[in-house]
C-alpha cells in the first residue's frame, strides 16, 4: 500500500512538473512579445490549474468536478485584469484568452491527459506565433487608423477629404471640435499601410494642417 502511495505521489509530482514546463513555454512567448502577462503568470496559471484539478480528483471523490469547475471562474477574473482600453481598440484580449487556454492545459495535465495537454500547448504556440505573419499581411493591406487633424480654416474639411482620396484612403468623420477659429476633426481612415505612410508625410509639410495626431 505504501508503494502505491509513493508511486501515486511520484506521478502527481511529474504532472506538476509537466504543467510548470508547459506554462513556461507559453509564458516565454508572451514575455518575448512584452505582453502584460508574462513568464511567471503563465507558469503559475498552468501549475495552479493542474494542482487544483489533482486536489479536486483526490478530495472530491463523489463530486470531482466541484473544485475544478471553479477554476474557470477564477481564470475569468484573472483574464479581465489584463484587458484594457488602448488608443483605438481594446488591448489584452489575446493575452486574456491565452490565460484561459493555459488553464485548460493545466487542467488536462492534472487529469492525466498529458498527450492532450502537449497538443494543446503546440496549438497555442502555433496560433500565437505562426498566425502573426497572417495578421501582418492583413495589416499591410487593410489598416484602420484614427487621425486627429487640426486645420486653420473651418471649411477645410472638404480639402482633407480630397487629400484622403488622393492617397487612396477610405474615410469617415468620428467627431469634430471647433476652438477659436481652428477646427479639429477626428477621422477614421482605412486602406493600405503604405498609403497611410504617404499621407503622414504630406500632413507633416502641409501648410493648411496646423497639427495632427494618430
Residue 181 region, left (φ>0) first, then alpha (ψ -120 to 50), else beta? left
Q: Are 165 and 189 in contact (CB under 8 A)?
A: no
Q: Going by C-beta distance under 8 Å and a sequence separation of 6 or more, which residues neighbour residue 73?
A: none
Closest CA to 105 of 12, 17, 39, 19: 19
How many alpha carbons lie under 13 Å from residue 195 in its C-beta half-sphere? 20
DSSP assignment letter at 11 = H
pTM: 0.70
| pLDDT averaged per 10 residues in sequence order, the chain, 214 residues | 55 92 91 78 92 83 68 77 64 84 93 92 89 79 86 76 88 80 83 88 83 82
**What is the per-residue pLDDT for 5?**
55
Domains contained in the chain, CATH given: 2-129 (no CATH), 141-213 (3.30.70.260)
Positive or negative torsion for Cα 161, 165, 171, 172:
positive
Torsion of the alpha carbons at 52, 57, 63 and 69, rounded to the nearest 10:
30
**What is the per-residue pLDDT for 117?**
94
pLDDT tens digit sequence for 147-178: 888 887 766 788 888 888 988 899 888 887 77
**What is the per-residue pLDDT for 2?**
38
Torsion of the alpha carbons at 184, 171, 160 and 175, rounded to the nearest 10:
-20
**What is the per-residue pLDDT for 1?**
36
| DSSP symbols for 115-135 | HHHHHHHHHHHHHHHTHHHHH
**What is the per-residue pLDDT for 6?**
55
Q: Which residue has the cell 493575452?
A: 95
**What is the per-residue pLDDT for 3?**
37
All three cell numbers of 169: 484612403
Q: Counting Cβ atoms within 10 Å, is residue 49 exposed (0-12), middle (13-18) or buried (19+)?
A: buried
> What is the rounded radius of gyration, in angstroms, for the C-alpha atoms of the chain?
26
Amino acid at each position: 500500500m505504501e508503494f502505491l502511495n509513493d508511486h501515486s505521489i511520484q506521478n502527481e509530482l511529474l504532472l506538476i512538473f509537466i504543467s510548470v514546463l508547459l506554462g513556461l513555454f507559453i509564458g516565454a512567448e508572451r514575455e518575448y512579445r512584452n505582453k502584460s502577462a508574462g513568464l511567471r503568470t503563465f507558469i503559475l496559471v498552468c501549475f495552479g490549474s493542474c494542482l487544483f484539478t489533482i486536489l479536486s480528483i483526490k478530495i472530491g471523490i463523489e463530486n470531482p468536478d466541484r473544485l475544478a469547475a471553479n477554476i474557470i471562474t477564477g481564470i475569468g477574473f484573472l483574464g479581465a485584469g489584463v484587458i484594457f482600453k488602448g488608443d483605438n481598440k481594446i488591448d489584452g484580449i489575446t493575452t486574456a484568452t491565452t490565460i484561459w487556454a493555459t488553464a485548460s492545459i493545466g487542467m488536462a495535465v492534472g487529469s492525466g491527459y498529458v498527450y492532450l495537454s502537449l497538443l494543446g500547448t503546440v496549438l497555442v504556440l502555433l496560433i500565437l506565433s505562426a498566425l502573426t505573419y497572417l495578421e501582418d499581411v492583413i495589416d499591410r493591406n487593410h489598416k484602420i487608423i484614427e487621425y486627429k487633424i487640426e486645420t486653420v480654416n473651418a471649411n477645410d474639411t472638404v480639402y482633407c477629404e480630397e487629400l484622403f482620396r488622393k492617397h487612396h484612403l477610405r474615410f469617415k468623420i468620428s467627431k469634430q471640435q471647433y476652438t477659436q477659429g481652428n477646427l479639429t476633426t477626428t477621422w477614421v481612415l482605412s486602406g493600405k499601410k503604405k498609403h497611410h505612410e504617404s499621407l503622414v508625410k504630406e500632413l507633416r509639410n502641409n501648410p493648411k494642417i496646423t497639427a495632427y495626431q494618430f
